[in-house]
Every structure is written in structure tokens, then in C-alpha cells.
Structure 1
Amino acid sequence: MPDSPAQTRPMNILMLMTDQHRMDTLGCYGNDICQTPTLDEIAATGTRFTNWFTPSAICTPARASLYTGYAPFRHKLLANEERNVGYIEDLEDGQWTFPQTLRDAGWNCGLVGKWHAGSHKNANYYGFDGLDYPGWHNDINHPDYLKYLDDNGFPPYSITDRYRGVFPNGETGNLLAARLQQPVEATYEHYLANKTIEMLERYAEDRKTDGKPFFLLSSYAAPHLPYIIPDEYFDMYDPDDIELPESVAEDFSDKPPIQKNYSRHWAFDTMTEEQDRKLIAVYWGYVTMVDMEFGRIMDAVKRLGLEDDTAIVFSSDHGEFTCAHRLHDKGPAMYDDIYRTAGLIRVPGCEPQVRDEFVSLLDLPATFMDIAGLDPAPAVDSRSLLPIVRGEHPQWDPYVLAEFHGHHFPVAQRMIRTNRYKLIVSPESRNEFYDLEHDPNELKNRYDDPLLRGPRDELMKTLYHRLRLRGDKFFHWMTSMFEVGDLDYDPTMSGLDESTYHSKKTA
């Protein structure tokens, strides 16, 4: 007997996405204070990845990689619009994206919330249903949100109890947190959950009547700073229960000078330890509030009978410092605090597990194509995680690469990481090398340590050849500056010297 349509049609995909979200805020990743029951339940019934990384710890590059399966150097959206210092602001015409491919294959495709992957070409341009929510933060003046407040008799947006430091020039520093004078039901996060559930209901009806599968991304700016939340969550966690991260002991000795400058920009030393603990407590409150909204969405999945044929995915675009290394936000420091994030995938029929392969947000486009039964090849820097989720053990890369191109300023960095070691190449100042087994907080730069020269040089060679294989021209800097092994090309790129590289090699 042939399979029924219900047996052969692809499963739906629902992705829950946060912004600037630390992995160590989730209970399933070891936090025994911060409450994240919804995400913990997804982890307990799906695959939890312990080595999930972002390709770049900046919103726009990371999100563009999510939609294209291209590494940032390849898709060329290298900075957020709001801090862009000259890079392009939209994907080039003709760029492949997974939502448009799903749309062309007959899928419903929707995005609710943060897009932040282009200035002029929005989510609708690439095949997503949904309202346009531009910018990096909650658009509290969005007409539809204002209508939501008015229709429900909710008070307008208003804040008190602002937390901020002092800039080096003596001016008032960036807003880091504040108390929101609205009930939870009036928050932008609650509004986005409502919009997600509305779209889920519409897509579920289409699934029921004509079998049409859907991809739905519910995308939050939370818990990105500033942490602006109502009393219930602002005061949920006691600052006295908060332990500051061990890396708050950072003194920036033997680190790229830009890190110390960035700490001053975020006014870390102008705030007290008491304020730091409260900031972390409020951040955790924000995480719990978003998890509660995710719970409402997951309840709708169950109510609509979608649980058995819908894959659930969770990740964030990158992490957040929140006092780690005496920093806030994200930026020119390739620490695990902002590059290693939570990653959860639950596929119906697959057994729960914890996996430690080095994977990336960049791998999701190929995964989505694989789930949909479509060709993942156009997502050229992406590899499907579906075999891992199914419990298979494919041969996997023991390295993860990441890149940074600037935020507020142009600066180039590349990173390669293994289970034990991390190498960061920073042409503008100082390279970094960390032994994560003995220094998990990345406090001691051992780039010049003779005891680690062997693994450092080996990782340098590996990074060089990986970048060259990718076509990331950052490798040209490394050719002249470091021992990278045998070359098979003219590194001078002159082409005018009688004694070219090739002639020397063959003489």
C-alpha cells in the first residue's frame, strides 16, 4: 500500500530565536537559578548541542548567515546598519536564501519579529509572510504594536530605574536596564508571541486543509540590552544570589588594546559591583520572561495538534557579555561568552540526546533544506545537522571557525577553536591563544608561551588553510606574518618579478 500524503509530506519547522542570549542562562546548560522551563523541556525531548557557535557575534552578519548558509565574508553583510561604517547594507541581488526556496517549493513561510538582515530588502522581499519589524530593538512605536496597546486598554511604554554608567568623555553612558511601567501582557514580547500564535493558527489550518507545510520563525530582540522589563521579572531574582563571572577579574594585560577601550566605552568601571549583580539579575529575569512567552507558543503547538509533525529549533544569533571580561553587549573580543550559544533541535521520532560536535548557526539553512527534502547545496557554508539529530555519528569537523569585521569601527579578526585550544588572529594589534582546559574563562593569553608553541603553530596552519579553502582572503595577511606551511602560489601577488615564487620552487 502506498504511503498516505500525511506520511510523505515534509514536517513543519518552528524556530524560536532570541538575541544576545548567553548559553549559561538556561537550566539545561547548568543554571540552577534562572528559570527556563520551556527551553529545558525542548532540550529534554530533543537534541541539545554543547558546542554550538555563531559565525559572527554581531546581529546582522549572523542573521544573514542564518538565511543564506553563507559565511559572513561571503555574503558581505558585515555590520549592523546602526553601526555600519561603510560596508554594504543589503544582500546582493540574486543571493540564495532558504525562505525563498521554501516559498518556491510551496511552503508557507513566516517571520514574526526581528529581521535585522538588511536595510532596504526586508523579510517580505525574501519570501517571508509577516509585518516588517525593522531595526535592532523592540519597535515600540510600530503602528501595529500601538494599536495592540490601544485595543486592549494597556498603558503606553514608560520606564524608570535606569541603569547606566558614564562615558570616558563624561557624558551619560548607554542605557543597560530599566523598569518597564507596563504589565506583562502589554510588553512587546507578549505582543510578538500573540502574533506568532495567530500565524501558527493560520498555517495549521492550511496544513489541515491542503497539507501545506510551514516554516515559522518567531524572532525576539530579547534578551538584548537594554533589559527593559516589568516589575514581576525585574525583581524576580535576588542580586545577592548572583555570582559575578570569574572573568570579571580581567585586567586586559597582553590582550588587544581594543578590549580595554571597549570596556571604557561600556563604562564598566563607573558602575558598582552591586549594580553589576542587579544587571545580571535583571538579565536573567528577561530570559525567564521570554521563556514564558515561548511556553505560550509551545502550548499553541500542542493545542493545534502540530506536535507530532513539527520540528522545533531554538538558537540565538550570538551571546552577551553581561559583565564577563568587564564588558557589556558584544564586540571585538572573540570570547566564548558571545560566540558559544545554546542550540536545541527537536525532530519528531528522534530520541533525546546531548551532542558535542562543533556546529554552528550557519548549519541551520542546510538542516532546514534537509528536513524539507530539498537540495541543501546552495547553502554553501552550511551542513545539515539532521543526521546528528537522528542519532547518527557522521564524521564531523573537529574545528569551528568564526569571524569579526567590526562594530562601531572596522576591525578584522578570525578565530579557530578546538575542544582544548582557541586561536584568534588580530592584525591590528595582538593575537590570542587560550588553553581552554586550564583556562576556561580565557583570562591568560598564552600566544607567546613557548610551552604551547606546538599546538599554537599547528592551529595557525589549520586556520590558514581553512580560510584559503573557503576563499576568505584574510589568509593573505597570515601568509607573510606567520609560519603557515608549504605554499602552492606566489604570495607576493606581484606577477612582475623575474624570480617569481613558482620559478624559485622549480629551479
Structure 2
Amino acid sequence: MADADTRPNVLFVLTDQERYDCSAPEGPPVETPTMDRLSGEGVRFERAFTPISICSSARASLLTGRFPHGHGMLNNCHEPDAILANLPDDLPTFSEELVAAGYDLTYAGKWHVGRDRGPADFGFSYLGGSDTHHDDIDEAFHEYREERGTPVGEADLEDEIYTGDDPRDGSDGTFVAAKTSVDVADTRAYFLAERTIDAIDAHAAGDRDDPFFHRTDFYGPHHPYVVPDPYASLYDPDEIEPPASYAETYDGKPQVQENYLAYRGVTDFDWELWAEAVAKYWGFLTLIDHQLERILETLAETGLADETVVVHASDHGDFVGGHRQFNKGPLMYDDTYRIPLQIRWPGVTDGGSTCETPVHLHDLAATFLELADGSPPDSFDSRSLVPLLENGGDPPADAEWADSTFAQYHGDEFGLYSQRMVRTAAYKYVYNGPDIDELYDLEADPSELRNLIDHPAYGDVRREMRKRLIDWMEETADPNRVWVTDVLENAS
């Protein structure tokens, strides 16, 4: 008789535009008991960052283990200005490697990594839950709502907020937030939890010789922040204080940042309006957290919890009024680049550990393969987090680990805009090709309000951070390195 497969199952939950601080101990008073539980039973990563703050590109990096310039999907695939509508066929992905390693892959929820090629083209059995705007893969959620007698699109909305001249007028602008009349069980978040529970139950009841990898991608807390009660009324806008970055003046910043206020239609939003939106955003996140609780309870009830690694992360963050901005864009602040990441590995991770080592979202690609006793393809710019998980969140004594993270941005529907960023624990440097660069002292100015790029006292820091950026661009074969390196080396 062959030996039983002892490799762990993996449950991967990815949220959409979830801010790092909402589930951090020092963050705002958002109720995230399940995410807190994962942190308490596993490792919470303090310095996890997305390689790019835009959906398709970040998700493509996660799938391919590569920085965006390596996979080529530089902006959102569904927009008319998409540089790539689909990932190139010849790029290895962690999912296809897992299939080859004998894992059973299932997937529910948002995809957004190509117009014509979905999860099934990358080794997953797709269980439904797509959203028409981004994917339109199937009709499962619509059928679910029809069966419940609450067809999609027939809900009553209250307290709507829209961008534009009149925040209460839905005839123009982007839909930001509202309260919906539907039951919690009618929400897409609840439905995706149901699909995930079904997948876990099916695995528990079937042939368990092969381990499973299940991925659930929630459509939130991405805008529009539309939630039913009790979540819509859970947080009182009158009790929500503006973040320190709300004092942003854009003095000494790249002009595109202030331009984005008008482009996003939030120039005239005051804090009273933002607080309403923040309350719905927080409520949305708590709704998702409660669905994650249902999923983890199912893992425990089926007896699979002890043999399943649970990973929670987000593709990138969301401004939600930080720096007075909405959504995301060519502003490389921690609001959208720092992400939550918690990993629980029963019998391996030390509960309540905090990892201060800087890591990237797409490091999860190599991590998943090492959990499967595999190795990442040579094409990956991804380093497995397994050594950190096995060592209480710290790198092993004999391992060299980068003390910075690297990120980039290539523009979106506002227009292409080349940026590169390097961040350490103390400083952040942003290269802005067509405008002024940025340098922030994160210890003195954690809200990133004061651009120190020309400050004479920071000359040595500026040179050191530019060198770090050059090193990252060289290491990852960034195509911009040829001329950007000359620019940075000759800058004062």
C-alpha cells in the first residue's frame, strides 16, 4: 500500500482592495474577529506589500509569481486601454504547477486575470460567483438569487453616495456606497462562503488521497461598498475620525495626485461624506470576516483544520478617504500598497507570531509550491515564505533576506504613468518618470504627507534608496532599468 500523502491542504482567501490597517492591532476599530483569530493562531505579516496597486496586474503577479513587467499585464484587462487582454500562454503559473503535483484545485469568486481565459484554463475547477463587470464567467450567483426570490438588481438602496458634483445623484459618476435591503444570505459574500463550504464538504466526503487547494476571491471590500443591515449600521459615521493623511495638501507632490481628485470625482467630498463611505467600507469588511468565520468552522467540523494551511491576503488596498482620495491610482502610498497577510499552518506556525520581514503578495506563488513539496519555476520573482513560517516569522540564521520591497505602477484608464517604488522599514522612495520623485521618512511621517526628495538633510538617504531601487530593477530585469539607472545615478 502506498504511503498516504501528508502534504497539507491549502485554503486561500483573497479579498479585493482590503486595507492593511483594518485588521492590524493598531488600526481603526473595525471588527475582524476571524482575521484576528488567524493572526492569533498563525503568523501575521507586518510588512507585506503588493507589487502593484491595480487588480488585474496584481492578480496576474500572484498567479505567475512575477512582477508586472515580467508577465506583461500592466493594467486592468477589462478596460479599453488594456495592454494585454489575457496572460501570455507560455507563462508558468503556480496553479498549473500544483495540478502537476497532484493537487485538486477549486476556485470561487472574482478572477479578473483575462477576458477570455478563466480559472478553468489554469487548472482550477470553477465553482461560480463571478461578477458581470469584471469576469462574467457564469450565472451561478444570479441563479442563486432567483431561487431565493431576490433577483440581482431588484434591491432597494438607501444612503447612496456617488462621485461627481452631486453625491446623491446616481445619473452621473461612480457608485461609492449604499445600504441595501437584501438579507445577508443574499449577498455575494455569503454566496461565495457557501460555495467554499460546499467545496470543503465535498472533499471531506470524497476520496481524500490527494490534497486540495481551494481559492475564494471575495468581491470586496472593493467599491461600491454596498452592504445590508446589520453591517450597514454597524459603524456610526459621527464617531469615525479622519486619518492623519486626510490633511494632505499635495504641496511638493507630483501633479497627477491632485489631478486624481477631479478625475475620481471627489474634489468636493468633505469628511462628513467620507465618514459615511468609510462606515460602509468597514461594514463590508466585517461582513466578509463573518463569512470567513463560517468557512473556518466548516474546516473544523469536517476534521480538516489540522491538515489545512489557511492564508488570507488582499490584492491591494483602498484609499477610502486617505489622502482625500477614492479607489487607487498613481499614488504609491501605504494605503493601497501595504496589504494584510495572515497564515495559519497547524503544527508549524507559532500562534500569535508577527513577521517583520518584508514580503510581496506574489511570494505566495512560491510558498504554495513549497507546501506541495515543489520548487518554483525559474521564471518566478517569488520567494517562498515557508522558512519564515517554520521559524516564528523570522528568517533562518543562515538565510539572506531582502530588507526592502519593490513595487511599480504603469497607469490605468487615466493614462500610462511609469512609477517604481522601493520601501524599507524607515523610508520610501518613489521614482516618477514624468514628474518629481518622492521620499518619505516613515518613522517621522508615517502618513507620508511631507515629500523630502529635495531636503538637504536627506541627501545620503536619497542616494541609498536610489541605489536600492536600481538593484531591484537589475535583479528583476526591469526593462526600464537601462535608462532609469542612468537618470538615478546622475541625479543629485
The alpha-carbon deviation at position 23 of structure 1 amounts to: 1.2
The alpha-carbon deviation at position 430 of structure 1 amounts to: 1.3
- Written as runs of structure 1 = structure 2, the 5 A alignment for 1:104-115 is 104-115=100-111
Tell me the residue number matched to 1:204: 204
**RMSD over aligned Cα atoms:** 2.1
Report the AA paired with residue 400 of structure 1: T
The alpha-carbon deviation at position 134 of structure 1 amounts to: 5.2
Tell me the residue number matched to 1:22: 19
The alpha-carbon deviation at position 102 of structure 1 amounts to: 1.1
Decide which of 301, 304, 314 is 1:303's aligned counterpart: 301
Change (3 A) 1:155 1:89: closer
Tell me the residue number matched to 2:473: 467
Change (3 A) 1:146 1:381: same
Tell me whether 383-392 or 37-46 shows the greater mean CA deviation: 383-392
TM-score by length of 1: 0.90
Tell me the residue number matched to 1:89: 85
Answer whether contact 1:115 1:133 (CA < 8 A) is retained. Answer: no
The alpha-carbon deviation at position 469 of structure 1 amounts to: 2.5
- Written as runs of structure 1 = structure 2, the 5 A alignment for 1:4-403 is 5-6=3-4, 8-26=5-23, 28-31=24-27, 33-131=29-127, 143-154=139-150, 156-157=152-153, 158=155, 159-166=157-164, 172-206=172-206, 209-350=207-348, 351-352=350-351, 353-378=353-378, 380-391=380-391, 393-394=395-396, 395-403=400-408
Change (3 A) 1:183 1:478: same
- Written as runs of structure 1 = structure 2, the 5 A alignment for 1:409-424 is 409-424=415-430
Answer whether contact 2:78 2:114 (CA < 8 A) is retained. Answer: no
Answer whether contact 1:52 1:343 (CA < 8 A) is retained. Answer: yes
The alpha-carbon deviation at position 88 of structure 1 amounts to: 1.2
Give me the whole-angstrom Cα distance separating, in 2, the residues matched to 1:224 and 1:86: 20
Give me the whole-angstrom Cα distance separating, in 2, the residues matched to 1:260 and 1:47: 38
Cα distance per residue 1:121-155 (max 9 Å; x no partner)? 11110001014655686889952222212223335
The alpha-carbon deviation at position 253 of structure 1 amounts to: 1.1
Give me the whole-angstrom Cα distance separating, in 2, the residues matched to 1:358 and 1:481: 27
The alpha-carbon deviation at position 269 of structure 1 amounts to: 2.9
Q: Which runs of 5+ in 1 are unaligned?
A: 486-507
Answer whether contact 1:366 1:379 (CA < 8 A) is retained. Answer: no
Change (3 A) 1:283 1:190: same
Give me the whole-angstrom Cα distance separating, in 2, the residues matched to 1:102 and 1:167: 50
The alpha-carbon deviation at position 165 of structure 1 amounts to: 3.0
Give me the whole-angstrom Cα distance separating, in 1, the residues matched to 2:481 and 2:266: 34
Cα distance per residue 1:60-80 (max 9 Å; x no partner)? 111011111011100001111
Answer whether contact 2:111 2:135 (CA < 8 A) is retained. Answer: no
Answer whether contact 2:45 2:354 (CA < 8 A) is retained. Answer: yes
The alpha-carbon deviation at position 336 of structure 1 amounts to: 0.5
Tell me whether 135-144 or 87-96 shows the greater mean CA deviation: 135-144
Answer whether contact 2:101 2:372 (CA < 8 A) is retained. Answer: no
Report the AA paired with residue 92 of structure 1: P
Q: Which runs of 5+ in 2 are unaligned?
A: none
Answer whether contact 1:136 1:221 (CA < 8 A) is retained. Answer: no
Aligned to 2:446, the other structure's residue is in SS state coil
- Written as runs of structure 1 = structure 2, the 5 A alignment for 1:443-458 is 443-458=449-464
Aligned to 1:222, the other structure's residue is in SS state strand
Aligned to 1:315, the other structure's residue is in SS state strand
Report the AA paired with residue 327 of structure 2: D
Give me the whole-angstrom Cα distance separating, in 2, the residues matched to 1:84 and 1:74: 22
Give me the whole-angstrom Cα distance separating, in 1, the residues matched to 2:214 and 2:378: 21
Cα distance per residue 1:366-413 (max 9 Å; x no partner)? 100111101124452000101101115233101100010111121110
Tell me whether 29-38 or 159-168 shows the greater mean CA deviation: 159-168
Tell me the residue number matched to 2:438: 432
Aligned to 1:29, the other structure's residue is in SS state coil
Aligned to 1:268, the other structure's residue is in SS state coil
Identity of paired residues, percent? 35
Change (3 A) 1:54 1:142: same
Give me the whole-angstrom Cα distance separating, in 2, the residues matched to 1:279 and 1:427: 33
Change (3 A) 1:141 1:418: closer
The alpha-carbon deviation at position 484 of structure 1 amounts to: 6.0
Cα distance per residue 1:258-287 (max 9 Å; x no partner)? 111111122223223211111111110000
* Count of residue pairs brought into register by the alignment: 478
Give me the whole-angstrom Cα distance separating, in 2, the residues matched to 1:306 and 1:379: 33
The alpha-carbon deviation at position 9 of structure 1 amounts to: 2.0
Aligned to 1:13, the other structure's residue is in SS state strand
